[in-house]
Amino acid sequence: MAAALLRDTGIDVGYRETGTLRVAEDEHVAQELRERVAWERERGLDVRWLTTREVASLEPSLRDGLSGALFSADDHQVTSAALTHALARRASARGAIIVEGLGVERLLRVGERVVGVRTSRGEEYRAKHVVLAAGPWSSSLVPRVPVRPVKGQLVHLRSAKPVVGHPIFASEVYLVSKADGRVVVGATEEEVGFDWAPREEATRSLLDRAFQLVPALRDAEIGDAWAGLRPGTPDRLPIIGTRRDSQGLIFATGHFRNGVLLSLITARIVAALAATEPSPVDIAAFSPERFG
């Protein structure tokens, strides 16, 4: 898909086949990750356990004393903002109309059928199907859907030379090196409502963990801090599917920290439901009706 988007839109979405490392900073975490390796390999995933020496060989900038790591060879990465812009441009070229600078105030209903939306400017848009993909604002449109905002903050570093080659996940921090020289350090989980202003305290906490994990990053230039709101659910699973009391409405929300990761399969599910075809995967666990 990345190659097709580049061809059609001229936007490089930053797709890189890097694999990821989940490092164990003590033996307790190491045991949990070894069990995860076994579980994932049983399901056909290309994962393996790395010893302390193998971790140091693969990522020499990591601190000493790690207890090993889980390496997921099939994990890839993209730049989420670039992907969003590329998808929007491609959709527009294929006839989609993107309206910016206004919100949706409510859904339009006729009985138990959702037939469109009303915007903050009083405009009405009607359609055979409406997709609820409003992230943390989903509950304002469908109150029975328990989606809440969970703030996530990250900070950018810029290094004169490559420091880490793979996305690295550890307790309370992750590091992702980008092709343009940035290292993304994330990410907090804060239950603070719709406040998405970056906090200096959170920035400092992320940097402290990053510097502990990769001491060489202390020499990097500190860039911008950024925060956004994730759509969280009580069971941390997305809400995908339909409800019997809201015909014409397709739910695609609550993806929490996995929105980009699950975007392609979510799109395929939504397209199938809109065409009244079976979902390509079992979505019973994500049913909008599981909350009553």
Sign of CA dihedral 134, 138, 140, 142: positive
Torsion of CA 195, 200, 206, 207, to 10 degrees: 160
Length of the chain: 292
Domains and CATH numbers, the chain: 19-72 (no CATH), 109-147+235-291 (3.50.50.60), 149-232 (3.30.9.10)
Whole-number pLDDT of residue 160: 83
| Residue whose C-alpha is closest to residue 207's, from 151, 150, 152, 156 | 156
Residue ranges, the chain, pLDDT below 50: none
List, for residues 196-246, the tens digit of each pLDDT value: 999 999 999 999 999 999 999 999 999 999 999 999 999 999 999 999 999
Whole-number pLDDT of residue 24: 98
Q: Where are the alpha helices (DSSP H) in 59-97?
A: 80-93
In terms of phi and psi (left: phi > 0; alpha: psi -120 to 50; beta: otherwise), the region of 111 is left
Whole-number pLDDT of residue 162: 84
> What is the value of pTM for the model shown?
0.91
Whole-number pLDDT of residue 103: 93
Q: Cβ distance 175 to 216 under 8 Å? A: no
